[in-house]
Amino acid sequence: MRHYGTTADGAAVEEYTLGNDAGLEVKLITFGGILTSIRVPDRNGRLVNIALGFDRLAKYEAEHPYFGALTGRYANRIAGGKFRLDGVDYQLFKQDGLSSLHGGEVGFDKRIWAARRVERGVELSYLSPAGEEGYPGNLKVTARYRLSEGNVLRIDYWAETDAPTVLNLTNHSYFNLMGEGEGAIYDHVLTLNADNYTPTNANQIPTGEIASVAGTPFDFRIPKAIGPGQRSAHQQIIMAKGYDHNFALNRAGLSEGELGFAARVYEPRSGRIMEVWTTEPGVQFYAGNFLDTTLVGASGRLYRQSDGLALETQHFPNSPNQPDFPSTALRPGQRFQSATEYRFSTD
């Protein structure tokens, strides 16, 4: 552990480093629970950082697209920034005037988390007071990061509340398996374990439909490169300027809380492979549509559109306003628990 920096309002931020005998190295900071670096070997053993991000705290404090951050209380979008729970209406902060995104104006990605070392990892905790960003209930949240000798980065999440609330937690890392700053992810080969996805309207809010991926650019059940679909003329792709959609994962035969296969990414030049396994019902595949050259990454190189991809394991966007989606309600006496694993290997 080392001192990473001091925020503009004087709070100390610490950095933790996790490693294993295979040479994998993961760095995270207590500001936003942000994964700042994930160094992974290629087929020749060459280690590079595959996570997009910055080289200093001030850049994470400034506006950015949630690089590496824990997002909540509610990851992804809530339409109109409002929802009704148990007959009570709640109004949240709306970033774009249309919806609440990733927890609001000051979400979990901008909070200082308490940290303690655990076996092979770090455990972060945060108490979100009732009314923060408009959400009801005092919410106690824990996120544990662990790196195994088997090259698995695992994040476990737990939460408890003293009043009914809604909750959706994820990590918003952007990956480029060629290396951070090494160009577009168009040639990355993606597999998604999903027969269906949730189409969105022009404001990126799910319509409520759960649609088949068959015959569309959203069909990643057979591995394929990202580029052709990202540039397709499908209406959903045009409206979102690329892939930015929730996929309903195939979880038939799995019990609640059991890890299931969600996604696999393969980068042919380096041979790097990343598999994503999760207990969550969905994953948001975002192909970096709005990355632009105002962002200079840790390598000193500019980020451009589609220079990274995110696979955000989650409950579905806008679930509090969609009764047919899996529920995100959390009540006193219940304990929210989920886990996601990123499994790294080479061909």
* Integer Rg of the chain from CA: 19
Burial class of residue 181 in the structure, from the number of CB atoms within 10 Å of its CB (0-12 exposed, 13-18 middle, 19+ buried): buried
Please say if 267 is a catalytic residue: no
Q: SS3 sequence, 6-30?
A: ECCCCCEEEEEEEECCCCCEEEEEC
On the CB side of 128, CA atoms within 13 Å amount to 31
- According to DSSP, residue 320 is labeled G
**Catalytic-role residue among 172, 188, 245, 315:** 172
Which entry of 132, 182, 312, 341 is annotated as an active-site residue? 312
Distance between CA atoms of 210 and 175, rounded to whole angstroms? 27
Q: Does the annotation count 172 as an active-site position? A: yes
Cα separation of 315 and 121, whole Å?
25
Strand partners of residue 342: 153, 276
Q: E strands, 34-138, where?
A: 35-41, 47-49, 70-71, 77-79, 82-85, 88-91, 99-101, 114-118, 121-128
Cα(44)–Cα(42) distance, integer angstroms = 5
Calpha distance 177→182 (Å, rounded)? 9
Separation in Å, CA 288 to CA 26, 172, 232, 331: 22, 11, 15, 35
Long-range pairs of 6-15 with CB within 8 A, sequence gap ≥ 24: 6/57, 7/31, 7/57, 7/61, 7/112, 8/58, 8/61, 11/112, 13/57, 13/112, 14/115
Q: CA–CA separation, 26 vs 49, rounded Å?
A: 9
Question: Beta strand pairing status for 189-192 and 260-266?
Answer: antiparallel
Q: Are 181 and 299 in contact (CB under 8 A)?
A: yes
- Could you list the active site residues? 172, 312
